Structure 1
């Protein structure tokens, strides 16, 4: 088997006496969209931060191209993975274009190429009309899309997105996940934290479901999104039916 692009080996993270992640092992390959799902506090954002190299595991290993993430110099790491965090706040009066262009800083300066890439990202996330706006005046959804564009312009083989659809309306949720899937089809490894199981079902090649810091299920949407697994992990009864047009599992909450 080829070396995975990203890998965790028995990775654990502690907060006081509590394991936020406990012995998590994952192999993530290029060309796939992986959704991390699970209840609040399950460890999704912590897992993404470990994959990003922003948090070092207290036990176990986190590897990029077979090399420990902790060993990567910051600039080199920024050329390998881009991260969209949950917090999109910018506390200075930069324009949307300036914030997005910051994602090009790890690369050698090339004004013409940088402008082209920034323009493409602004269009991709539908904020071209906001390019001159002060980011401090944006709505939550507009700020989220600006943050996503900043990650996209890094042009990295790994793209890590923490709840990119949380502040978005229906149209932009679908547009964002469609773009993420296309990036994966182009050969990137895309990992996205989602709360919406139906978005994960519609767009992910693979779903990793977490519960109390451990992997409760890992596989295709059809393998993971079962009535039994969801009821056990979320403590919520559901029906799982076939989506009428997408041919994927559709999760429908039901009464107790």
Structure 2
């Protein structure tokens, strides 16, 4: 039931929390990259057709020259997507962005790196933790400091976001640093996003993205599965790739070894 991830792909595509895709170039082979993107668009035109894409050259040992990068941009546009920016990296990338007339998206790149890094699951919550200093008069009696991120994780798990109204086409619901629970339907063309897990107690016909800031332990649960797309920490699977025997069933979605897993709930 897992996604057949091709680790030899020239470009690794991940979905950002606002529907922008990050294309990290791993092999600078323009025809191959264009063909891979054309295949994605053909398989899931509602998801990828005219999708905004950020180009990330951070996976290469050398920054491409402007002519090669321009050829890639033109090829991707011909394949059906819209390159809108470069992911911020080095001073060479900044110069390349100026030559191409594209902006840099530093924040998007940072989110992508958190997905790959070992501290992905605790980096965002840890910033919210503010332990009180020990009293100056009685330092020996101060309570031991909890592990980094523990307080924030507990807070996030206890204060989830609840959406009681149906999420209709064109709507986007985002649970910042917490779980999201939808009590009714997520319609086709709608999008629900959470930094934690997503729980849907009705049909899921749109898109559900969990672990939006890189939490690979996040999961998606739904009572009736017809999703256009599901994603955990940027790794995604579209409807065309989902086994037909799971459609309409109660399922859970999780990430294992960087591959999306989907299984029916008993």
Fold conserved (TM > 0.5)? no
| Larger helix share, 1 or 2 | 1
- TM-score normalised over the length of structure 2: 0.28
Whose RCO is larger (CA < 8 A, sep 6+)? Answer: 1
**Which has the higher Rg, Structure 1 or Structure 2?**
2
